[in-house]
Amino acid sequence: MKETVSLKRIAGVRVGLHWSVLVIVMLVTVTLAAGRFPDAHPGRPAWVYWSLGLLAAVVFLASLLAHELAHAVVARRNGVQVDGITLWMLGGVARLRGEAPTPGAELRIAAVGPLTSAVVGVLFTGLALWLDALRASGLVVEAVAWLAAINIVLAVFNALPAAPLDGGRLLRAFLWHRTGDPVRATRGAAAAGRVLGWFMIISGFAAMLFGGDLSGLWPALIGWFLITTATAEERQAQLRGALDEIPVSRVMTRDPVTVPARASVAGFLAEGPFGRYRHSAFPVLAPDGSAVGLVTVTLVNRVPLQARSTTLIGDVMRPLSDVIRAVPDDLVVDLLPRLEASRDRRALIFGDGDLVGIVTLADIGRALSWLTPAPGPDSGVRRAHGSFGEGDTR
């Protein structure tokens, strides 16, 4: 899940928002302001209901962020790097770089999320009781009580033993501990996730068809998400099994074709696609020979025709700080999710500070075609991790 708006770092973890987070803010606000609040405490001005509903929605997002931050902090303490957190329509996603090293680490990383939501729910429950004892506004007490209830529901739901929920990770940790096979454990958790997903879809549509309850669309949507994500996790685990312990140096393209940062866009286009520049992405070099970025045909094509002769590659390239980087000894299984989350689906490989290669998702797909017995493994990578991006390998 790619972020649309990047926020500041919290506890050292990058936090962002996906545009779809507006859906959950709107849904919570409307549900409270047009339903629960006026039903429980009628007679207040409409702006009071809507203001408090919006505030409750924002606090709910903050509680989702606390849930994901707990995952991220515990993951880092267990040796798993965290790329960031993105809040979106169906909650939050903590993007972990790589797998937990042991079943115990997996258990700790997974368990802390529902535990955090449960603690937040208990704290809001205590706050609601305290405000009620002080005879505070009944509407405010209602809002705090809702926040308590929704966090407890979030904790219980996430604890269900089905991937990709936290409970599914707990189930995976248990199966991993018993069998010693993380891929087999992932299959079991994914199967449970698909069962739960189909149950939610069927029950949601049944509520709409037979009960006329349009709110059944929400569990059906969540069920669809569970099925697709659990299946993707299972395929990713199979890929990890095939790529286990393979270093990036085995799949990268060595000594890639480069482009000078001072070359003009027009000059670059004149030498492709039938000349020197036959691919669709190239490392960019400074005059001293050091790599300073990555340029793609997509970026170049954004330059207006009349400006191509005066625009330099260095002006349109992706700067090195925004490009995925790795070293030859990094494992392919750890680089793969970073590639999928990147904009250009490519990584530059450095050895002793010098550019030594480039890796794309297609490079990994070709390696898998030799390593997996099933037909069409390259397409399997595409299903599990999305599109490879631009058609060429580089």
What is the reported pLDDT for 88? 85
187 and 53 in a single domain? The answer is yes
User: CA 313 to CA 296: how far, in whole Å?
Assistant: 10
The answer to the question of residue 216 being in a domain is yes
The answer to the question of residue 392 being in a domain is no
Mean pLDDT in residue range 21-45: 92
Question: What percent of the chain is modeled with pLDDT above 70?
Answer: 93
Write the pLDDT tens digit of every residue in 361-375: 888 888 887 776 544
> How many beta carbons lie within 10 A of that of residue 235, not counting itself?
17
The answer to the question of residue 307 being in a domain is yes
Mean pLDDT in residue range 50-56: 96
253 and 194 in a single domain? The answer is no
198 and 314 in a single domain? The answer is no
What is the reported pLDDT for 183? 87
259 and 137 in a single domain? The answer is no
The answer to the question of residue 340 being in a domain is yes
238 and 297 in a single domain? The answer is no
**From 3, 68, 106, 142, the catalytic residue:** 68
Place of tokens 């992706």: 318
Q: Which two tokens stand for residue 188?
A: 């079991």
What is the reported pLDDT for 99? 80
Q: How many domains does the chain have?
A: 2
Instruction: Annotate the chain with three-state secondary structure.
Output: CCCCEEEEEECCEEEEECCCHHHHHHHHHHHHHHHHHHHHCCCCCHHHHHHHHHHHHHHHHHHHHHHHHHHHHHHHHCCCEEEEEEEECCEEEEEEECCCCCHHHHHHHHHHHHHHHHHHHHHHHHHHHHHHHCCCCHHHHHHHHHHHHHHHHHHHHHCCCCCCCHHHHHHHHHHHHHHCCHHHHHHHHHHHHHHHHHHHHHHHHHHHHHHCCHHHHHHHHHHHHHHHHHHHHHHHHHHHHHHCCCEHHHCCEECCCCEECCCEHHHHHHCCCCCCCCCCEEEEECCCCCEEEEEEHHHHHCCCHHHCCCCEHHHHCEEHHHCEEECCCCEHHHHHHHHHHCCCCEEEEEECCEEEEEEEHHHHHHHHHHHCCCCCHHHHHHHHHCCCCCCCCC
302 and 261 in a single domain? The answer is yes
The answer to the question of residue 180 being in a domain is yes
The last residue of one of the domains, among 203, 219, 243, is 243
Please give the residue range of the domain that contains residue 373. Answer: 248-385
Q: How confident is the model at residue 393 (pLDDT cuts 50, 70, 90)?
A: very low
Question: What percent of the chain is modeled with pLDDT above 90?
Answer: 61
CA nearest to 144, candidates 37, 39, 64: 37
27 and 49 in a single domain? The answer is yes
Is residue 68 annotated as part of the catalytic site, yes or no? yes
User: Over the chain, what is the mean pLDDT?
Assistant: 88
349: domain CATH number is 3.10.580.10
Q: How confident is the model at residue 338 (pLDDT cuts 50, 70, 90)?
A: confident
The last residue of one of the domains, among 189, 224, 243, is 243
The answer to the question of residue 391 being in a domain is no
Is a pLDDT exceeding 80 seen at residue 380? no
214 and 346 in a single domain? The answer is no
223 and 344 in a single domain? The answer is no
How many CA atoms are closer than 13 Å to the CA of 226, on its beta-carbon side? 29
Where on the phi/psi map is residue 135: left (φ > 0), alpha (ψ -120 to 50), or beta? left
User: CA 87 to CA 94: how far, in whole Å?
Assistant: 9
Backbone torsions φ then ψ of 382, nearest 5 degrees: -65, -40
215 and 272 in a single domain? The answer is no
Q: How confident is the model at residue 109 (pLDDT cuts 50, 70, 90)?
A: very high
236 and 252 in a single domain? The answer is no
User: CA 336 to CA 241: how far, in whole Å?
Assistant: 13
The last residue of one of the domains, among 181, 212, 243, is 243
Residue type, 144: V
221 and 306 in a single domain? The answer is no
Q: How confident is the model at residue 305 (pLDDT cuts 50, 70, 90)?
A: very high
Is a pLDDT exceeding 90 seen at residue 379? no
The answer to the question of residue 182 being in a domain is yes
The answer to the question of residue 390 being in a domain is no
